[in-house]
Amino acid sequence: MRIPAIILLLLPLAEIAGFVLVGQWLGVLTTLALIVASTMVGLIVLRNNGITIKQKLRRAEMEDRPGRVVQALFDGTAPMFGGFLLILPGFITDIIGILLLIPLVRSALWSFIKTRFVVTSNVQWNNGPSRTAKNETVVDLDADEYRRQDPKSPSPWKQLPKDEG
């Protein structure tokens, strides 16, 4: 739990050091142009991947294998996360974002991550997601079994019990 916190604290410092090094190597204007260009590429990636995710999920759903749907979701969200990282200013996040756009890197990352997922198939996508469980408990009340209470009256949960005696 401490490692992600340390990474989040050190990432801005590393990005600033990257700006300084690239600025010294290429010059200030070229460095700024690279940052603006990576932001534009990130916006384009985010714009184009929304439709792609939906298409991948529909194709995977037709195969009727739950693990394939999760992989399709990963294949769709990884480039979107990469596009988001490209939008953030900094060269380290840009490198990670570009790596997430490469299909070979995504498949290697998926082969590493897939053993950590547990897939269940109780979600049906007919006209949208609807969860149906076999042992679902439904409480069905008649009109005389419940009543509305005046919102200004005190809540029965806040009332003290009456003394019996």
pLDDT of res. 95: 94
Q: Residue 49: its pLDDT value, please? A: 82
DSSP string, 104-152: HHHHHHHHHHGGG------EEESSSEEE--TT-------GGG-----TT
Report the sign of the C-alpha dihedral through residues 129, 134, 139, 141, in that order. positive
Rounded Cα distance, 5 and 140, in Å: 47
Q: How far apart are CA 87 and CA 68, in angstroms?
A: 29
The pLDDT score that the predictor gives to residue 83 is 92
Q: What is the pLDDT of residue 59?
A: 77
Taking a C-beta distance cutoff of 8 angstroms, is the pair 39, 86 a contact? Answer: yes
Residue 149: predicted pLDDT:
67
Q: List own/partner pairs for 6-15 with CB under 8 A and 24 or more apart.
A: 11/90, 11/92, 11/93, 14/92, 15/89, 15/90, 15/91, 15/92, 15/93
Domain locations in the chain? 2-122
Q: Roughly what angle, to the nearest 10 degrees, separates helices 28-63 and 91-101?
A: 30
The structure tokens listed for 36 are 């603006």
- Name the pTM for this structure: 0.64
Strand blocks (E) in 11-122: none
Task: Give pLDDT, residue 125.
Answer: 52
- Say what the pLDDT of residue 120 is: 62
pLDDT at 3: 80
Q: What is the pLDDT along the chain (165 residues), one digit of tens a residue?
A: 578 888 888 999 999 999 999 999 999 999 999 999 999 999 999 888 877 777 777 777 777 666 677 777 888 888 999 999 999 999 999 999 999 999 999 889 988 888 776 666 555 555 555 555 555 677 777 777 766 667 677 666 666 666 655
